[in-house]
Amino acid sequence: MSARMLYTKTIMEKNKIIEVSNLVAKFGDKTVLDGINMDVYKNEIMVILGASGCGKTTLLKHIIGLYYPVSGSVKIFDKEITELDEPEMEEILKKIGVLFQNGALLNSLTIRENVAMPIKQHTNLPDSIIDRLVKVKLDLVDLSYVIDLLPSELSGGMRKRAALARAIAFDPLLFFGDEPSAGLDPVTAASLDELILKLKKQLKMTIVIVTHELASIHHIADRVLFLDEGRVLFSGNLEDAKKSNIKKIEEFFEKGKY
């Protein structure tokens, strides 16, 4: 290995935010993820893609600690999360924001109360400071004018942005999105993609997105991980994926499904 290649490898290792190694996940007797390896580097957007049922969301839930693997390793910020106790895991989670597919807003609470919830749960800040922080987050997603409305009073795109404001309540270093543009019209989905790119730049976030939406993939992806039946079919940059000469990947990008 040349000195230049060794230097590049060393820099990449130092900037590694997520490291998944030989991850195996099962539900009952069914193997859902089979030997997954995945690295995510600082300030990049990694998109996990593939057909429905290939294991995308399952992988995401293993990375953030909602599921534990049968075997293998998941490291975030160089910490093996499968070995952390509850207080240690909570410290990791404070550095992470998650946007679930349905937004997961509480319908009985106003947008102000929804966004304030994680701040109240994890800090002892006075209400006046929390309220100021909530307004800042809603300003970032261009939703300050709906602060006292209920989720049911918002459009689908507005609910996604409100959920995004809650996900970035702690200025996370690492952000996960599970099908963030699912169910949105193309114009609203594109505006959400633009918002994610803006927040990545402003908050210097590393981002992992699960999606099958071709427009979003082309718009935001730095690198992609392509899953097929619980295994990694391809990992690398988007242009190389499209030129991989792997039939299932070619069909995915030609048709949007396979």
> For residues 171-193, b (16+ Cβ closer than 10 Å) or e, as one string?
bbbbbbbbbbbbebeeebbebbb
User: Which pLDDT value is given to residue 211?
Assistant: 87
User: Which pLDDT value is given to residue 53?
Assistant: 76
User: Which pLDDT value is given to residue 183?
Assistant: 79
For the record, the structure tokens of 197 come out as 């790119």
User: Which pLDDT value is given to residue 94?
Assistant: 85
Instruction: Report how far residue 68's alpha carbon sits from residue 24's, in angstroms, rounded to the nearest whole number.
Output: 9
**DSSP letter (8 states) at residue 150:** -
User: Which pLDDT value is given to residue 38?
Assistant: 96
* CATH architecture of structural domain 17-95+208-258: 3-Layer(aba) Sandwich (3.40)
User: Which pLDDT value is given to residue 254?
Assistant: 80
User: Which pLDDT value is given to residue 173?
Assistant: 92
User: Which pLDDT value is given to residue 10?
Assistant: 46
pLDDT per 10-residue tile (average), the chain, 258 residues: 45 77 92 94 93 86 90 94 89 88 83 91 88 92 91 89 90 91 85 89 92 88 93 92 87 68
**Residue at token pair 């997954």:** 36
pTM summary value: 0.86
User: Which pLDDT value is given to residue 36?
Assistant: 95
55 and 32 Cβ atoms separated by less than 8 Å: yes
User: Which pLDDT value is given to residue 133?
Assistant: 92
Domain coordinates in residue numbering, the chain = 17-95+208-258
